[in-house]
């Protein structure tokens, strides 16, 4: 079964420096029909204006992944982690028993577009951890590149949940395929461009929940399309 979550049906937060869309309940946006998908709790699609950002705030018991689509995001946290995230980078923070962090647009002149993803951990009260890795477009082009997995395979970030996140960049005619083991589900998020998934057309910002399907085929349908796939227990 495939269920499309259209981009313009998502929740929205608009303040001076932020235009954010929420695939699932978040902050003041509550939607009991779209609260989570399996262990995937948050996908926020954020546009942050130059100089804008999230001041220091707390998190706990959540696996948090940040994926930058364009621009650059600067971040700091109380574990001592910090840096600048650019396209191709994926930043991971396991909030564990508690962490404080901040995130700001690194540029004073250019906006930043990012996805922030929360996955519920397999255990609560763990020690906070931080990591960041770069995945060149050459590794994501025409392929499903694992960027976060429970075992850190193929140089991916190691997260504390039975969930895997893959990133792909496709051009028209390129196809990638993914097999789902029995009992598992998938979520696909179109970061930019457009794709078809098992014959269904998705455009930028659309999401797709997949249940009871053995195989997934994703085809590029725009000059350049960037897509994220989550394989979830």
Q: What are the residues whose beta carbons fall under 8 Å from the beta carbon of 223, sequence distance 6 or more?
A: 171, 172, 193
**Which of 119, 134, 149 is the endpoint of a domain?**
134
Within a domain: residue 172? yes
C-beta separation of 195 from 47 below 8 A: no
Q: Are residues 39 and 104 in the same domain?
A: yes
Instruction: Note the pLDDT tens digit of each residue in 174-214.
Output: 999 999 999 999 999 999 999 999 999 999 999 999 999 99
Can you say how many angstroms the Cα of residue 204 is from the centroid of all Cα atoms in its chain?
Answer: 13
Q: How many structural domains does the chain have?
A: 2
Q: Are residues 32 and 122 in the same domain?
A: yes
DSSP type of residue 127: P
> Whole-angstrom distance between the N-terminal and C-terminal Cα of the chain?
16
Residue listed under structure tokens 């130059």: 50
Q: Are residues 101 and 166 in the same domain?
A: no
Element (H, E) at 222: none
Q: What are the residues whose beta carbons fall under 8 Å from the beta carbon of 15, sequence distance 6 or more?
A: none
C-beta separation of 61 from 95 below 8 A: yes
Strand partners, 212: none
C-beta separation of 193 from 211 below 8 A: no
Rg (CA), the chain: 17
**Which of 80, 106, 134 is the endpoint of a domain?**
134
Q: Over its length of 233 residues, how does the chain's per-residue pLDDT go in tens digits?
A: 899 999 999 999 999 899 999 999 998 999 999 999 999 999 999 999 998 888 778 788 999 999 999 999 998 877 777 789 999 999 999 988 888 888 989 988 899 999 999 999 999 999 999 899 999 999 999 999 999 999 999 999 999 999 999 999 999 989 999 999 999 999 999 999 999 999 999 999 999 999 999 999 999 999 999 999 999 99
Rounded CA separation 193/136 (Å)? 18
Q: Are residues 172 and 205 in the same domain?
A: yes
Strand partners, 99: 59
Within a domain: residue 200? yes
User: Rounded to a whole number, what is the largest CA-CA distance in the chain?
Assistant: 48
Within a domain: residue 3? no
Q: Are residues 126 and 204 in the same domain?
A: no
Q: Are residues 125 and 181 in the same domain?
A: no
* Size of the chain in residues: 233
The two structure tokens encoding residue 127: 């020690």
**Which of 116, 134, 152 is the endpoint of a domain?**
134
Q: Are residues 126 and 22 in the same domain?
A: yes
Q: Are residues 102 and 160 in the same domain?
A: no
Within a domain: residue 5? no
Rounded CA separation 18/61 (Å)? 25
Within a domain: residue 170? yes
β-pair type (145-149, 157-158) = parallel
Within a domain: residue 149? yes
Within a domain: residue 36? yes
Q: Are residues 156 and 130 in the same domain?
A: no
C-beta separation of 168 from 145 below 8 A: yes
Q: Are residues 37 and 119 in the same domain?
A: yes
Q: Are residues 113 and 154 in the same domain?
A: no
Q: Are residues 129 and 162 in the same domain?
A: no
Q: Which domain holds residue 49?
A: 10-134
pTM: 0.95
C-beta separation of 72 from 112 below 8 A: yes
Within a domain: residue 168? yes
The CATH number of whichever domain residue 225 belongs to comes to 2.60.120.10
Instruction: Note the pLDDT tens digit of each residue in 85-100.
Output: 999 999 999 988 888 8
């Amino acid at each position: 079964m495939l269920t499309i979550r259209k981009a313009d049906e998502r929740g929205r937060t608009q303040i001076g420096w932020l235009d954010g869309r929420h695939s699932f309940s978040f902050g003041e946006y509550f939607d009991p029909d779209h609260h989570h998908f399996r262990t995937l709790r948050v996908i926020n699609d954020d546009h942050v204006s130059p100089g804008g950002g999230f001041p220091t705030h707390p998190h706990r018991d959540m696996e948090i992944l940040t994926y930058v689509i364009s621009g650059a995001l600067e971040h700091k946290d109380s574990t001592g982690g910090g840096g600048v995230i650019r396209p191709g980078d994926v930043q991971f923070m396991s909030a564990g028993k508690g962490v404080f962090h901040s995130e700001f647009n690194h540029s004073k002149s250019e906006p930043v577009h990012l996805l922030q993803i929360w996955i519920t951990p397999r255990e609560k009260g763990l020690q906070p951890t931080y990591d960041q890795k770069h995945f060149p477009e050459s590794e994501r082009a025409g392929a499903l590149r694992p960027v976060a997995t429970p075992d850190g395979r193929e140089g991916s970030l190691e997260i504390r949940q039975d969930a895997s996140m893959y990133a792909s960049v496709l051009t028209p005619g390129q196809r990638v395929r993914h097999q789902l083991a029995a009992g598992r589900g998938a979520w696909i998020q179109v970061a930019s461009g457009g794709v078809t998934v098992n014959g269904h057309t998705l455009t930028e910002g659309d999401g797709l929940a997949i249940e009871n399907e053995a195989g997934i085929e994703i085809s590029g349908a725009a000059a350049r399309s960037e897509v994220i796939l989550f394989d979830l227990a």
